[in-house]
Amino acid sequence: MIFDIKNEKSENIPNFKGGEKFFTAKMHYDGLNRFLHGTLVPGATIGEHLHDTNSEIIYFLSGKGTVLYDGEKLAVEAGQCHYCPKGHSHSLINDSDEDLVFFAVVPNQ
């Protein structure tokens, strides 16, 4: 199966999971799993949330930021990958001066 994310409709989602500003995403959702190409502008965040029924894998394509993972702040940058297993919580923060661009997979478990 091929998912052509570049042709998906772009959405601006304000205050995602209680975060600041907005989160821009091109997503594909098949009812169980979600694939997305996302962007956080400077100062934007995805609010802290628990992955109680799924996990999330985020690969950073460009920019820098911070992941809050189970209460611990971790610096992230392009070329790195963050994994949030089922049962853990995280948040994504763009505390830089450039867009933080990433690809994420959220498989239902």
Tokens 């994994």 locate to 83
DSSP string, 32-72: S-EEEEEEE-TT-EEEEEE-SSB-EEEEEEE-EEEEEETTE
Domains of the chain: 12-97 (2.60.120.10)
Read off the pLDDT of residues 27-81 as tens digits, 9 standing for 90 and up.
Answer: 998 898 999 999 999 999 999 999 999 999 999 999 999 999 999 999 999 999 9
Query: How far is Cα 10 from Cα 83, in angstroms, rounded to an integer?
Result: 24
pTM of the full structure: 0.94
Residue pair 92/67 in contact by the 8 Å Cβ criterion: yes
